[in-house]
Amino acid sequence: MHGDTGVVTTGFGARYLDAVVRRGRFCAGIDPHAGLLTDWGLTVDAAGLSRFADICIEALGPVAAVIKPQVAFFEPFGSAGFAVLERVIAGCREHGALVLADAKRGDIGSTMAAYSTAWLDDSSPLCSDAVTISPYLGFESLRPAIDAAHAAGRGVFVLARTSNPEGGQVQTASVPGGRIVAQSIVDDAAAENASGTSTVGLVVGATRSHGLDLAALNGPILSPGLGAQGATAADIPEVFAGADTRWVLPASSRGVLAAGPDVAALRAACEAARDEVESALTPFS
């Protein structure tokens, strides 16, 4: 039981709620697009990426509840990019933020076990507090990641209804019994969280109404789409009508990063985005 929220949870859910109660419901994305590096006066190479990372760690680490580095933007720089990503993960965690590695992993179970070690095991230099994963090889293929997260008090965020316009082709298809695919993912996640640890979060975009019944989830809901993709904080209550908004975690990357490279301006943009979300949502207590 978490005293400040009234939500019954242990494990990752308790860590997550502690972070958002202290720092507010907002996830700051670290997406070092080449265009952003250029806008910040940096070179599009490992040195520029490293400087970008340092600014983000200093500006966002002390204030954001959750920080989500997008792995894709580090990968083009190879081992040097991964070294910077390791520093981002460790640096943000040292500042007290939860780090959600946006790796969107999804594969057969035996390979998922290796991904779980990479992103969720203390032995790995990439170890984060949580990782995004894709259920489209079948929810049960995610079992190694769910079990690893559960054992370590860490989390997984499973794609359910993504923010991009193409997502509906698969996610709104019907499964036997009449539910849509996305609702079946929600229900599978809710069943995992019934034990009370809230290990399994979801990803549900802020860009549209989705019709999902999220009431039984009892776990965090990452909601990207604020800012560059057009959603606003004012949209969130309607998008998540019927859900427990204590668990809703709106996210923005480019919309906040556009305020850099000045550390104070970047931090202020993050705090302003968070404050807009908090003003739009029902307060915690």
Contact string 205-224 vs ligand OMP (x = CB under 6 A): x----------------x-x
Give per-residue burial for 225-242: e unless 16+ CB within 10 Å, then b. Answer: bbbbbebebebbeebbee
CA–chain centroid gap for 56, Å, is 16
- Pick the binder of ligand OMP from 25, 97, 102, 158 (CB under 6 A): 102
- The rounded distance, in Å, linking the Cα atoms of 23 and 260 is 21
Q: Contact region for ligand OMP (CB under 6 A) — 6-14, 15-23, 84-92, 158-166?
A: 158-166
Q: Which of 149, 64, 63, 72 is nearest to 104 (CA)?
A: 72
- The rounded distance, in Å, linking the Cα atoms of 168 and 166 is 6
- Pick the binder of ligand OMP from 9, 50, 70, 128 (CB under 6 A): 70
Interaction with ligand OMP in 229-248: which residues (CB under 6 A)?
Answer: 229
- Pick the binder of ligand OMP from 253, 270, 276, 277 (CB under 6 A): 253
171 is a contact residue toward ligand OMP (CB under 6 A) = no
H-helix or E-strand spanning residue 189: helix 181-193
Q: Which lies closer to ligand OMP via its Cβ, residue 29 or residue 48?
A: 29
Q: Which of 163, 147, 167 is nearest to 155 (CA)?
A: 147
Q: Cβ of 72: how many Cβ atoms within 10 Å?
A: 13
Q: Which lies closer to ligand OMP via its Cβ, residue 10 or residue 33?
A: 33
Question: Is 210 in contact with 257 (CB distance < 8 Å)?
Answer: no
Query: Which phi and psi angles does 91 have, rounded to 5°?
Result: -65, -45
Query: Which residue in 104, 143, 208, 254 is the catalytic one?
Result: 104
Determine whether 104 is an active site residue.
yes
199 is a contact residue toward ligand OMP (CB under 6 A) = no
H-helix or E-strand spanning residue 221: strand 221-224
Contact string 2-41 vs ligand OMP (x = CB under 6 A): ---------------------------x-x----------
Question: Is 114 in contact with 145 (CB distance < 8 Å)?
Answer: no
Interaction with ligand OMP in 120-139: which residues (CB under 6 A)?
Answer: 132
Q: Which lies closer to ligand OMP via its Cβ, residue 2 or residue 142?
A: 142
Binding residues (CB under 6 A) for ligand OMP: these are 29, 31, 68, 70, 102, 132, 162-164, 203, 205, 222, 224, 227-229, 251-255
Residues known to be catalytic: 104
